[in-house]
């Protein structure tokens, strides 16, 4: 039995009896970076369930259909201002080293060292458990794409958690 089969069975037992993986017939088209990474503005799109502790609603970890909303987090947010809400992993351990699931501090260091042009002013966080991804695909993801384009982002790094 493959890892994907084990995961599918787990989701079926715990949340959604008719769960199936979403599949696409064709791969996404390649979109090469138009300039060197050292000149790029880089954003993170994470599935860590990160949110601003004081000013944003936490992700709904009890909904069996997940939470397909997203949170915008400024690149200059202090780590203690960020919290995690996710049903798929122990967020207490991740909070001990936030860069393991939301490496924005590392991205800021890479910008300071000149490895990338700059860190985007904001990053985006989703909660990774969304077994019915239609709204995420057709509503949330296009909104995030427009936000990143409006910020002048050249490269988005996807960080699964």
> Per-domain residue ranges for the chain?
36-159
Bridge partners of 73, per DSSP, are 123
Smallest CA-to-CA distance from 52 within 31, 32, 70, 30 is with 70
Arithmetic mean of pLDDT over the chain: 92
Tokens 């939470």 correspond to 67
Burial class (CB in 10 A: 0-12, 13-18, 19+), 104: buried
User: Any idea which residue has 């050292």 for tokens?
Assistant: 38
Task: Quick: pLDDT tens for 32-45.
Answer: 888 999 999 999 99
Alpha-carbon torsion (95, 100, 106, 108), positive or negative: negative
More confident residue, 111 or 63: 111
- pLDDT 10s digits, 90-138: 889 999 999 999 999 999 999 999 999 999 999 999 998 888 889 999 9
């Amino acid at each position: 039995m493959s890892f994907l089969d084990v995961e599918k069975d787990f989701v079926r037992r715990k949340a959604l009896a008719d769960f199936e993986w979403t599949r696409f017939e064709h791969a996404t088209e390649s979109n090469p970076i138009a300039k060197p990474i050292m000149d790029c503005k880089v954003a993170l799109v994470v599935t860590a369930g990160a949110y601003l502790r004081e000013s944003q609603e936490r992700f709904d970890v009890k909904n069996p259909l997940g939470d397909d909303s997203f949170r915008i987090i400024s690149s200059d947010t202090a780590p203690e201002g960020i919290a995690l809400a996710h049903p798929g992993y122990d967020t207490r351990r991740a909070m001990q080293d936030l860069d393991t699931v939301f490496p924005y501090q590392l991205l800021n260091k890479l910008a300071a060292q000149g490895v990338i042009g700059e860190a985007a002013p904001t990053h985006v966080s989703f909660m990774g458990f969304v077994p019915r991804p239609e709204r995420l695909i057709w509503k949330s993801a296009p909104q995030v794409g427009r936000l990143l384009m409006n910020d002048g982002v050249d490269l988005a790094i996807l960080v699964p958690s």
